[in-house]
């Protein structure tokens, strides 16, 4: 293979297999090239990934070593994307009766959902995560986007059991905002005991749903290593039941009378900085 052909093929393979260890002998065999040439090619690819701000290659030495493509967003890309997201959410036309905010269209755009997944993957790249967990239904697209970059499976918590999923574990929890008792269930076969879990959700007000998921995951002796939410409501410390989380945007004020919405960046950059020093 010519170098130009190898660079295209290897770049495509790495992007299609994020967070997966790939050995040099594998590339050497696939590209019918010497390991030294493959090593030089990987250096070029790594520089290009970092130049574009879409991640980097992590090298692992030893007999079982190789390279991993770690998807990530540069600080500049993150700020630009979140700024645009805030501007979109401040559109007065999004205000719904009851002071709610229409966000479904954002979750229907594959490119936007994918970028949100990349943001969370950037914040959680240094954490050990075995599975991404979300609750049906709006958090599902986000969960799959995050899982695709972390290269882990998705588990969906539901409100009602399904016959096709076999025996389940269920709990009752109190909604943080409405204070109503609700139920959530998880199939026994869906999660290994002791799994390290990343919880993803689209919106958090007081955090009752996420707290409920944590209680359910306790039944599996799972360890919650990260919590990510696309949007959080304005912080009300007396009501907030979840304190350790990563949010991309924060909705501070929805004024129905004057048709105004105030949206600013969440605490994302606090977590991003911790993992990208």
Of 115-119, 151-155, 234-238, 251-255, the range with the lowest mean pLDDT is: 234-238
Mean pLDDT, rounded, for 13-36: 94
Q: Take residue 129 and report the two structure tokens written for it.
A: 């995560």
pLDDT in tens, 87-109: 999 999 998 887 778 999 999 99
Angle CA 147–200–153, to nearest 5: 30
User: Among 162, 171, 215, which Cα is nearest to 190's?
Assistant: 162
- pLDDT band at 85, cuts 50/70/90? very high
Calpha distance 196→188 (Å, rounded): 16
User: Among 93, 127, 73, 119, which Cα is nearest to 231's?
Assistant: 119
Q: What H or E segment, with its residue span, contains residue 221?
A: none
- pLDDT band at 277, cuts 50/70/90? very low
Report all structural domains of the chain as residue ranges with CATH numbers, in order of start: 3-70 (1.10.10.10), 75-270 (3.40.50.2020)
Tell me the whole-structure pTM to 2 decimals.
0.91
Q: Take residue 46 and report the two structure tokens written for it.
A: 């790594």
- Between strands 154-157 and 131-135, the pairing is parallel
Q: Take residue 148 and report the two structure tokens written for it.
A: 């695709």
């Amino acid at each position: 293979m010519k170098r130009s052909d190898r660079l295209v093929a290897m770049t495509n393979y790495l992007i299609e297999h994020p967070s997966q260890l790939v050995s040099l002998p594998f590339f050497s065999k696939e590209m019918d090239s010497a390991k030294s040439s493959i090593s030089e090619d990987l250096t070029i690819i790594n520089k290009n990934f970092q130049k574009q701000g879409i991640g980097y290659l992590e090298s692992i030495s030893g007999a079982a070593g190789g390279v991993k493509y770690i998807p990530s967003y540069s600080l500049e890309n993150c700020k630009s994307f979140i700024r645009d997201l805030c501007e979109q959410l401040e559109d007065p036309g999004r205000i719904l009766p009851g002071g709610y905010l229409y966000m479904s269209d954002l979750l229907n755009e594959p490119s936007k959902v994918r970028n949100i997944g990349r943001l969370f993957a950037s914040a959680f790249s240094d954490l050990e995560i075995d599975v991404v967990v979300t609750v049906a239904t709006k958090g599902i697209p986000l969960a799959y986007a995050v899982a695709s970059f972390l290269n882990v499976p998705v588990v969906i918590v539901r409100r009602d059991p399904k016959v096709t999923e076999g025996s389940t574990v269920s709990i009752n929890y109190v909604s943080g905002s409405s204070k109503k008792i609700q139920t959530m269930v998880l199939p026994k076969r869906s999660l290994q005991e002791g799994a390290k879990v990343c919880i993803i959700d689209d919106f958090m007000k007081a955090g009752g749903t996420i707290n409920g998921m944590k209680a359910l995951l306790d039944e599996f002796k799972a360890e919650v290593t990260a919590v990510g939410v696309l949007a959080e409501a304005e912080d009300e410390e007396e009501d907030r039941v979840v304190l350790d989380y990563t949010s991309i945007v924060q909705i501070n004020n929805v004024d129905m009378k004057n048709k105004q919405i105030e949206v600013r960046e969440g605490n994302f950059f606090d977590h991003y900085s911790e993992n990208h020093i």
